[in-house]
Chains A and B, each alone.
Chain A
Amino acid sequence: MPSDTIEHTANGTAATTETMTGAEIFVHALDAEGVDTVFGHPGGAVIKIYDAMERIQPRFEHVLVRHEQGGTHAAEGYAKATGGVGTVLVTSGPGATNTVTGIADAYMDSVPIVVFTGQVPTHLIGNDSFQETDTVGVTRSITKHNFLVRDVNELASTIRQAYHIARTGRPGPVVVDIPKDVQMAEAPFAYPETPNLEGYSVPGKGAPKQISRAARMIEEAERPLLYVGGGTINADAPDHLTKLARKTNIPVTTTLHGLGAFPETDDLSLGWLGMHGFYHANQAVQHADLIIACGARFDDRVTGKVDAWAPHAKIIHIDIDPACISKNVYADCALVGNASDILQQLLPQVGPKDTSDWLAQIDAWREECPQTYDTSDDTIAPQFVVERLYEKTKGDAVMVTDVGQHQMWVAQFFKFGQTRSHITSGGLGTMGFGLPAAMGAAFGVRKRGRDLPVVCVSGDGGFVMNGQELSVAAAHGLPLKIAVMNNNFLGMVRQWQSLFHDDRFSHTDLTATNPDFVKLAEAHHCVGLRATHPNEVDDVIDEAWSVNDRPVLMEFQVPKEEMVFPMVPAGAATGDMITEMFNKDAIAKEG
């Protein structure tokens, strides 16, 4: 392998002719790759690497997480905030299995992370040795690719390949399993310039003929709609998308992961679509005659019943993954390639369109069912908290959420204005994602000099699933603003139990022994604040923003009865939205 590689000096790391141990090669390879942050947890099978780090003092910073799952989510948060690849380093066995949820999450949401796992020495593999797990076997179906390094001479090139695979094409997690004897064996170090992957290719530009065909379809459409997903952000295409939308006057609706790809303050923005998306956005889908999907995969939370979804629309599907084309919804015109390239190819071929009638129609739907919520003088509406957070930041923040009702309210009531400003667990829906991801995002923001506050919105149920990472955020003085919407319930499950299971709240009540979140924060060397009344909300937020040297946890006590509306019940047609505003009680009991 090294024979066809060139020694190079990326970032000043010289290749060496004298030999060094695998552990040292690992540390130098990460420096050569330009890694600046590693989230990790030591253990027996990676102790050689940790020792090498201590001796070499590499350029990258190692962040000691408190649980390996937190490490993988932190790497995801880092990757999504920066557009780079997140890096995780854990030991064998339990260290590796603890990363599985995070890896699966990254796989579902196409997040580029590389997870390095220690492994027992090669001669002990398969012997049920202490802390042995078949990591490559366990992670095979949830990684884009994984490697078991059996020869120290292949270590550097494998690391090069891992980052290349994670970063390019449709991004995703890659696992590199490194046995302890490989870490101790010696070889010369050379970080290859090219990954040398024969069977791996990345689509680039779109086929010109298909581009002109798409342009013609756009030309002919009367009620066109851009449906934008996270792939647009992964391809760094939001600017080109905005140009295309504004040039052609085509309204834009975004998926959960697409939030931030198009400024929601723009007149052409319809906001969010799907199960808990806006009524007017879903109506627009149902009446559109052309849908241009950009980096979106027609997830069931978007389409509901596929047969009844967008019945009048032809579909143009822009995606980098050929396997996504026509997977859920048939694409009349498929543009396989990098969204950024394809939008640039498309832009000169389309002219301005008059869509004023169509936009007026959408505005009528918007008025028919405006996105509102019930306010009260004594209880804090969670939506109100999100609105106040928006007012505080004006959208200039990286908003990280956990999973549940609060996640939906953030997507509904926070107006996202810039790319990579919304980080959430969409595909896998991992509770416990929020805090560690926000922590990772804060490291990313700090390293890349993005001067933005990182705000984490979580629920009381999800927050405690990875609450231990508060210590890590405190240790590094990250000024995280953490809002915990505490309704003392597993709120989203409660909502489904209320709507579809006759108010039988089976095992969702956490009231009895939920922690005191203010004390929880203080116990982890963070600032804890609490609001129990609507007129305390702004004070708490202001106070939180005055702290700059450590995380602040704001607990907002919110009523448990609050539900997320509108809603398309799972498997129902998008046209059949439940809009609380019309008849809450009647609908609530239909289920």
Chain B
Amino acid sequence: MSDDEQTLTRQQIRRKRKFGEPILPEEEAETDQENRHIIAVRLANSIGALNRVTNLFSARGFNLESVAVGETDDPEVSRLTLATTGNDRIVAQITRQLDGLVDTLDVTDLTDAEHVERELCLLKVRYTSATRSEVLDLKDIFRGRVVNVTPETMIFEVTGPTKKINAFIGMMQKHGIEEVARSGRVAMHRSLEYEAPNPLASSDSEVSANGTDPSAS
């Protein structure tokens, strides 16, 4: 393999770097690593629009871990939050394809942005008089609320980042979870305006490779 490595020209090495491909064979494991991406999409609230978006992911063999969609302040516009795991380069390309869809108004990959992320979880758990107080304690620790109660079960509502929800579900496991319903993640960047960096931008700092130069008027 060292012969192969020596025959690589500077241009080839640069190209491989840009695409996150291994330059040396042993780097493979590292660059194959896939990252989690959270993408916010504003799209026309019309029939088939959501389908077109999810199609782009399934066509590439990407699993969408979470999809949350709902109307915005404008009833003609939906806000969609997608969470997926994949190679940065391919996700970047899918993001640009998403942007090209007629139904999408804008697409932002929030992964590298300062953003808040929340998920809502409804959890139905069994209780007895012996476990009742412990179950309720856990609810308090996770700042949850009781939204329904029967002699055998309670339904809790918990919101928070995905990790917190996972932890809550983990703690409830031993009490006998009957049902869990999660909303999927919704996310929003913190700043007033946010321009997602172009992952394929040239390393030459003076220009970006996406054809639009942020420093130009």
In the docked arrangement, what's the CA distance between A413 and B27, Å?
A: 46
State A330–B59 Cα separation when bound (angstroms): 23
Question: Considering the chains assembled together, what is the distance between the CA atoms of A210 and B216 in angstroms?
Answer: 10
Q: Is the CB of B216 within 8 A of A208?
A: yes
Chain B interface residue number, banded: 35 or more
**Contact check: which of B9, B44, B100, B104 meets A323 at CB < 8 Å?**
B100
A165 x B211 contact (CB < 8 A): no
> Does B210 have its Cβ within 8 Å of any Cβ on chain A?
yes
Residues of chain A contacted by B213 (CB below 8 angstroms): 207, 209-210
| Chain B nearest Cβ from A52, distance in angstroms | 26
- Which of A104-112, A195-203, A357-365 forms part of the interface with chain B? A195-203
Q: Are A325 and B210 in contact (CB under 8 A)?
A: yes
* Cα distance, A118 to B44, chains bound together (Å): 25
| Pairwise interchain contact B209-A207, C-beta atoms closer than 8 A | no
Beta-carbon contact of B11 and A311 below 8 Å: yes
* A208, B9: Cα distance in complex, Å: 30
| A518 interface residue per 8 A CB criterion | no
Supposing A307-B12, A307-B16 touch, asked if A199 and B101 sit within 8 A by C-beta, the answer is yes
Instruction: Determine if A165 and B93 form an interchain contact, defined as CB atoms under 8 angstroms apart.
Output: no
> Is A206's CB within 8 Å of the partner chain B?
yes
Give a binary string over B57-97; 1 marks a CB under 8 Å from any A CB, 0 the rest. 00100000000000000000000000000000000010011
Confirm or deny: B145 has a beta carbon within 8 angstroms of a beta carbon on chain A: no
How far does the alpha carbon of A581 sit from the alpha carbon of B102 in the complex, in Å? 50
Residues of A within 8 A of B51 (CB): 137, 140
Q: Give the nearest-CB partner of B16 in chain A.
A: A307
Instruction: For B19, list chain A residues within 8 Å (CB).
Output: 330
Q: A141-B59, A321-B100 are in contact. Are A209 and B216 (CB under 8 A)?
A: yes
Q: Please, which residue of chain A has its CB at the minimum distance from the CB of B199? A: A326
Tell yes or no: B207 within 8 A of A by CB.
Answer: yes
Are B105 and A323 in contact, CB atoms less than 8 angstroms apart? no
Q: Which of A36-44, A333-341, A458-466 makes up part of the contact surface? A: A333-341
A207 and B102 in contact (CB under 8 A), knowing A148-B48, A322-B211, A330-B14?
no
Q: Is there a chain B Cβ closer than 8 Å to A493's Cβ?
A: no
The answer to whether B55 touches A140, judged by C-beta atoms less than 8 angstroms apart, is: yes
Chain B residue with Cβ nearest A306: B15
Closest residue of A by beta carbon distance from B209 = A334
Smallest distance from the beta carbon of A557 to chain B beta carbons, Å? 43
Whether a CB of chain B sits under 8 angstroms from the CB of A136 is yes
The answer to whether B100 and A334 have CB atoms under 8 Å apart is no
The answer to whether A199 and B104 have CB atoms under 8 Å apart is yes
A327 within 8 A of B: yes
Contact A327 B48 (CB under 8 A): no
Q: Please state if B55 and A141 are interface contacts (CB–CB under 8 Å).
A: yes
User: Taking the complex as formed, is B47 at the interface, i.e. its CB lies under 8 A from any CB of chain A?
Assistant: yes
B211 touches A198 (CB 8 A): no
Asked whether B100 lies within 8 Å of A322 as measured between CB atoms, the reply is yes
Q: Interface size on A (CB < 8 Å)?
A: 43
CB of A198 to closest CB in B, whole Å? 6
B18 within 8 Å of A (CB atoms): yes
Q: Does B52 contact A (CB under 8 A)?
A: yes
- Which of B16, B44, B93, B100 is the one whose CB lies under 8 Å from A327? B93
Please, which residues of chain A bring their CB within 8 A of the CB of B59?
141
Chain A, residues 305-339, CB within 8 Å of chain B (1/0): the string is 00110111110000001110111011111111100
Docked CA distance A258–B137 (Å): 71
Q: Does A145 contact B (CB under 8 A)?
A: yes
* Contact among A203, A206, A325 with B209 in the assembled complex (CB-CB below 8 Å): A325
CA distance A36 to B19 in the complex (A): 47
In the complex, A331→B210 CA distance in Å? 9
Cα A303 to Cα B129 in complex, Å, equals 71
Contact of A326 among B14, B18, B212 (CB under 8 A): B18
Knowing A210-B211, A325-B200, A336-B212 are in contact, say whether A330-B97 is a contact too (CB < 8 A): no
- Would B97 and A335 count as touching, CB distance under 8 A? no
Task: Identify which of residues 184-227 in chain A touch chain B, using a CB-to-CB cut-off of 8 Å.
Answer: 197-200, 203, 206-210, 213
By a CB distance below 8 angstroms, the chain A residues around B200 are: 325-326, 330
CA distance A503 to B59 in the complex (A): 36
Say whether A314 contacts B210, CB under 8 Å.
Answer: no
Partner of A314, one of B11, B16, B18, B211: B11
B91 to chain A, nearest CB (A): 13
B14 engages A334 (CB within 8 Å): no
Please state if A207 and B47 are interface contacts (CB–CB under 8 Å). no
> Does A140 contact B48, Cβ atoms closer than 8 Å?
yes
User: Is there an interface contact between B15 and A329, defined as CB atoms closer than 8 Å?
Assistant: yes
A336 touches B52 (CB 8 A): no
| Cα distance A210–B19 in the bound complex, in angstroms | 21
What chain A residues lie within 8 Å of B210 (beta carbons)? 322, 325, 334, 336
Decide yes or no: A334 and B211 within 8 Å by CB, A311-B11, A322-B99, A323-B93 being known contacts. Answer: yes
Question: What is the bound-complex CA distance between A335 and B96, given in angstroms?
Answer: 15
Asked if residues A332 and B202 are in contact (CB atoms below 8 Å), the reply is: yes
A336-B211 contact given A148-B48, A199-B44, A199-B102, CB 8 Å threshold: yes
How far in angstroms is the closest Cβ of chain A from B22? Answer: 11
Interface presence of B39 (CB below 8 A): no
| Chain B 101-113 interface 0/1 with A at a Cβ cutoff of 8 Å (1 = within) | 1111100000000
Asked if B43 is an interface residue, CB under 8 A from chain A, the answer is: yes
Closest to A335 in B: B211
Chain A residues positioned under 8 Å from B52 (CB to CB) = 140
A332 interface neighbour in B102, B209, B212, B215, Cβ under 8 Å? B209
Q: Residues of B contacting A330 with CB < 8 Å?
A: 14-15, 18-19, 200
Q: Which residues of B contact A308 (CB under 8 A)?
A: 12
A residues near B102, Cβ cutoff 8 Å: 144-145, 165, 197, 199-200
A210 proximity list for chain B (CB < 8 A): 207, 211, 213
A-B contacts, 27 listed (Cβ < 8 Å): A144-B102, A145-B101, A145-B103, A146-B48, A148-B48, A199-B101, A199-B103, A199-B104, A206-B211, A207-B213, A209-B213, A210-B207, A210-B213, A307-B16, A308-B12, A310-B11, A322-B100, A323-B93, A323-B100, A325-B96, A329-B15, A330-B14, A330-B200, A331-B209, A333-B202, A334-B211, A335-B211
Closest 9 interchain pairs by CB?
A: A336-B211, A323-B96, A145-B102, A311-B9, A330-B15, A209-B213, A323-B97, A330-B18, A199-B105
Known: A140-B52, A197-B102, A325-B211. 4 other contacts (CB 8 A): A136-B48, A208-B216, A310-B11, A326-B93
Q: Which residues of chain A have a CB within 8 Å of any CB of chain B?
A: 136-137, 140-141, 144-146, 148, 150, 165, 197-200, 203, 206-210, 213, 307-308, 310-314, 321-323, 325-327, 329-337
